[in-house]
Structure 1
Amino acid sequence: MTNLNMTGSRPGAARVVTRWLFRDLRTPLSALVLVVIVGCSLLAPWIAPYDPTAQNYMAILEPASSTYLLGTDDLGRDIFSRLVYGASASIYASFLAVGVAAILGIPVGLIAGYVGGRLDAVISRIIDTFLSFPSIVLAIAVTGVLGIGLTNAMISVGIVFAPQLARLVRARTLVLRQELYVDAARCFGATTSRILLRHVLPNAIQPVLVQMTLLMAVALLAEASLSFLGLGMQPPDSSWGSMLARAYLYIEMEPAQMYAPGLAILATALAFNSLGESLREALDPTARE
């Protein structure tokens, strides 16, 4: 019998999400870390004690103190304020890169897997070509074409991520197009777009959601790498990657400057990875009781 609640309907989405969040301690802790980081990015003007771009040449490379919680950088800017404001840039970069990858990769994978034939062969060869290049090298090349800046850099990262999602969706679509409910929809005269959107995509999206969650962590590290190379966030605005790049120049004089942005990147990446792994386990039918 179908598991129904008292009203005769299936368990609601809120109940499913709650069950997933509290299935073990790792998931709520990861979610809490991300909520705190997103909250800091949204409330940065009220949390940060100083203007993140304000320079104070009388307080250059100051250590942590009651005045400057995490010290100051080589221009006398408050590291804590820059860290809080940099959270919004880093989170924005992750969502932008994964969003671009989903917009580009999911439709391509659906079409290639459903249509098959020569079109599938051509798309597969293009995907293999993109995947054969090192990701960071390809991202740098695309950034050079689009132009320097955080948005362009993360669009380039999204373009690099898109083949991974396309290949995953294509593999799922190749299996799902053989299902009886797809044949039934086709016999009843459903259009290709309706079959893909109503029958194939909802059943192929689970592993894609897991991969997107894991890619959020990779996108965060890619933003840090590109900003470290000067291709991402441009001064005087801050991101965690640009803070690392600036702190690296004075690592021998004040190595503590690197701790705050480095640990922020580490904690956020671990939270994304932990949520992705938890989501994978929750959606895996072989792991369910």
Structure 2
Amino acid sequence: MSAQTLAPIGLKPAKERRPFGVVVAGGVMTLVVLAAVLAPLLAPYAPDTIDLSASLVGTSGDHLLGTDSSGQDLLSRVLYGARTSLIAPILLLAIAALLGVTLGTLAAWRGGWVDTLVSRLTDVMYAFPGLLFTVLIIAVFGSGMTTSVLALGLAYTPTVAKYTRSVALAERRKPYIDAYRVLGMGGARICARFLVPNLGRYVVGYLVVLFGEALMSLATLSYLGFGAQPPSSDWGLMVQEGQAAVVQGALLPALVPGFAIALVVVSFNVVGVWAADRLGSRK
């Protein structure tokens, strides 16, 4: 019997099961968030504790994931680095969402020359690779995580704006928009109270998909020396610092943070795509 035939006789349809990959990815995300929050309790050492006598030590009882060239415990650094690696992409996407949703909604609502102007503006920004645009801003305002977050937030704005415009165009054609207009409600009020909130599930799902890419972009900037600066435990910076140790046969200083980046990016991509499909299919 189908879910439709069960409903009339008072039986609830079976709850749809999440794919196994999504469950695993969600579990990884949960563990990473808990590790970041509980880093002071879980880390065996302070992330900036230097012990040159333990330089490039492999896995052991004292150092479960080994140490880097300065004798810093890799497990402790990865746990503390999860904070920067998770919070920075959230701030980046918050900036992109604020600007992108505003521009996309404005273009879809007003149409005409406003839509053309916003579209041309986003096309011009698309003409420059996001990383190159970010490096140009950093060259003007200086390196650092704050500048990287702001620059990448601007770089991601056209992507969010175009997506928001596409879903807003479909949303504004729905009957309830015309109903509020007939009641004499202004366009700004309709957008703020009804249109934008109804776009929320689509935009949130899209931002979750972008999270992994944002994390990778920030890690790339830190690896290149434009993002986080020493003695930060940012994962991208840790990979850059551990690169020299690879020549000496010590793989862990670069492998551990690199694996953490890959694991989190893949997990967020898997959950993000699933969440975007689920949120986008809701009516």
Q: What TM-score do the two structures reach when normalised by structure 1?
A: 0.88
The correspondence of residues 143-154 of structure 1 with structure 2, limited to 5 A, is 143-154=138-149
After TM superposition, give the deviation of residue 209 of structure 1 in Å.
1.8
The aligned counterpart of 2:281 is 285
- SS across alignment from 1:238: coil
Residue 272 of structure 1 corresponds to which residue in structure 2? 268
State the Cα distance separating 1:202 from its structure 2 match.
Answer: 3.1
1:169 shift after superposition: 0.9
- Equivalent in the alignment of 1:131: 126
**Local SS of the residue matching 1:38:** helix
Partner amino acid for 1:239? Answer: D
Correspondence for 2:112 among 91, 111, 117? 117
User: SS at the partner of 2:185?
Assistant: coil
- Structure 1 residue 231 corresponds to structure 2 residue 233: no
The CA distance in 1 between the partners of 2:137 and 2:154, in whole Å, is 8
Matches of 2:101 and 2:229, distance apart in 1: 31
Distance 2:169 2:162 in 1: 11
Amino acid across the alignment from 1:255: L
Alpha-carbon distance in 1 for matches of 2:276, 2:198: 15
Out of 201, 204, 217, the position equivalent to 1:206 is 201
- Aligned partner of 1:263 in structure 2 is 259
Following TM superposition, by how much is the alpha carbon of 1:205 offset from its aligned partner in structure 2, in angstroms? 2.9
Query: In the alignment, which residue of structure 2 is the partner of 1:14?
Result: none
Matched, 1:157 2:156: no
Tell me which of 187, 191, 198 is aligned to 2:186.
191
- Structure 1 counterpart SS, 2:46: coil
Superposed CA deviations along residues 21-66 of structure 1, whole A, max 9, x for unmatched, are x522223322211111111111111111111111111111111111
Per the TM alignment, residue 84 of structure 1 is displaced from its structure 2 partner at its CA by 0.6
Which range moves more in the overlay, 118-127 or 168-177?
168-177
| C-alpha distance in 1 between matches for 2:281 and 2:67 | 51
Superposed CA offset, 1:225-274 (max 9, x none): 01001111111121110000001122121123222111111110011101
Give the letter for the 2:168 counterpart: T
Amino acid at match of 1:80: L
User: Which residue identity does 2:121 align to in structure 1?
Assistant: I
Query: Match of 1:82, as an amino acid?
Result: R
Distance 1:30 1:44 in 2: 21
- Output aligned runs, 1:43-122, within 5 Å: 43-122=38-117
Q: Which runs of 5+ in 2 are unaligned?
A: 5-14
C-alpha separation between the residues in 2 aligned to 1:33 and 1:169? 29
Q: Which residue matches 1:28?
A: 23
**Percent of pairs with identical residues:** 32
**Post-superposition shift, 1:182?**
0.8
Q: Which amino acid counterpart does residue 281 of structure 1 have in structure 2? A: D
**Per the alignment, in what secondary structure is the counterpart of residue 57 of structure 2?**
coil
Structure 1: segments with no counterpart, 5+ residues? 4-18
Counterpart contact for 2:209–2:276, Cα < 8 Å: no
Deviation at 1:70, TM superposition (A): 1.2
Equivalent pair of 2:48/2:72 in contact (CA under 8 Å) = yes
Measured in 1, the distance between the counterparts of 2:243 and 2:121 equals 38
Spell out, residue by residue over 1:115-150, the C-alpha distance to the aligned partner (whole angstroms, 9 max, x if none). Answer: 011111111100011112111111212223333211
The ranges of structure 1 where at least 4 consecutive aligned residues each deviate by more than 4 angstroms after the TM superposition are none
Partner of 2:10: none
**Superposition CA RMSD, Å:** 1.8
Pair 1:62–1:49, CA change in 2 (3 A): same
State the aligned residue count: 269
Q: Once the 2 structures are TM-superposed, how far is the Cα of residue 191 of structure 1 from its aligned partner?
A: 1.4
Equivalent pair of 2:45/2:76 in contact (CA under 8 Å): yes
Letter in 1 for 2:133: L
Deviation at 1:211, TM superposition (A): 1.5
Q: Which moved more, 1:191-200 or 1:92-101?
A: 191-200
Whole-angstrom CA distance in 1 between matches of 2:214 and 2:138: 14
Task: Return the alpha-carbon distance in structure 1 between the equivalents of residues 104 and 140 of structure 2.
Answer: 25
